[in-house]
Amino acid sequence: MTQDTKLALITGASRGLGAALAEALAPTHHIVAVARTTGALEELDDRIKARGGSATLAPMDVTDPAAMATLCRGIHDRWGRLDLWLHTAIHAAPLSPANFVDAKDWTKSVAVNATATSVLIPYVAPLLGETGQAVFFDDPRAGQKFFGAYGATKAAQMALACSWAAETGRTGPRVTILAPAPMPTALRARFFPGEDREALTPCAVEAARLVSLL
């Protein structure tokens, strides 16, 4: 990559929307792909290279603050900045009535969906500076029946993102919240297992649309 190559950090890049966004951005950005699953990241890397792009793989857990600090320090030391951050990492807790939400699922939902976001924003913000862009993806389930753990923690993530967007309107970085169309992802399959997946928008198609909005 050259000094002028744009850099995109994608947290939650191993599959679904995150992977599709990485592939869509690969022709114009060097991708820093973060996810826990090394094998899936390596498969993504192969697809990116097949499109003539390049990637740096970071098999890390977004809920580990030390790992995220190491990641962001590494980006700073190697490139000195980021042009784009897309945050797609999410935990989809099983659907259940509010009075039967499993304690472990609740804890993981809070850690991945809310706490990790609160840790990453101050880590990534200096890399984005005034001209970079952070992108979050809304999925408004708060208050819907059986979506207690997911809906509440996803809403917390969106509240953080919205506050950051309001705070940086004049100073940057630009903070954008997008609403993806329903896609045949593993996350959605957990929520709607009997759904006709053929009727959903393919991840690659939706990723291309979302990238066009940035």
Q: Model's pTM, two decimal places? A: 0.94
What is the per-residue pLDDT for 51? Answer: 87
Query: Residue 116 CA to chain centroid, in angstroms?
Result: 11
Instruction: Name the pLDDT band for 125 (thresholds 50, 70, 90).
Output: very high
Top CATH class of 6-212 equals: alpha beta
> Which pLDDT score is estimated for 5?
84
pLDDT at 212: 96
Does residue 64 carry a pLDDT above 60? yes
pLDDT band, very low/low/confident/very high, at 34 (cuts 50, 70, 90)? very high
Q: What is the pLDDT of residues 130-182, one digit of tens each?
A: 999 999 999 999 999 999 999 999 999 999 999 999 999 999 999 999 999 99
pLDDT of residue 1: 56
The ranges assigned to domains in the chain are 6-212
CA dist., res. 82 & res. 124, Å (int):
8
Strands in 133-137's sheet, in edge-to-edge order, are 55-59, 29-35, 6-11, 84-87, 133-137, 174-178
Q: How far apart are CA 73 and CA 78, in angstroms?
A: 9
Report residue 100's pLDDT band, with 50, 70 and 90 as the boundaries.
very high
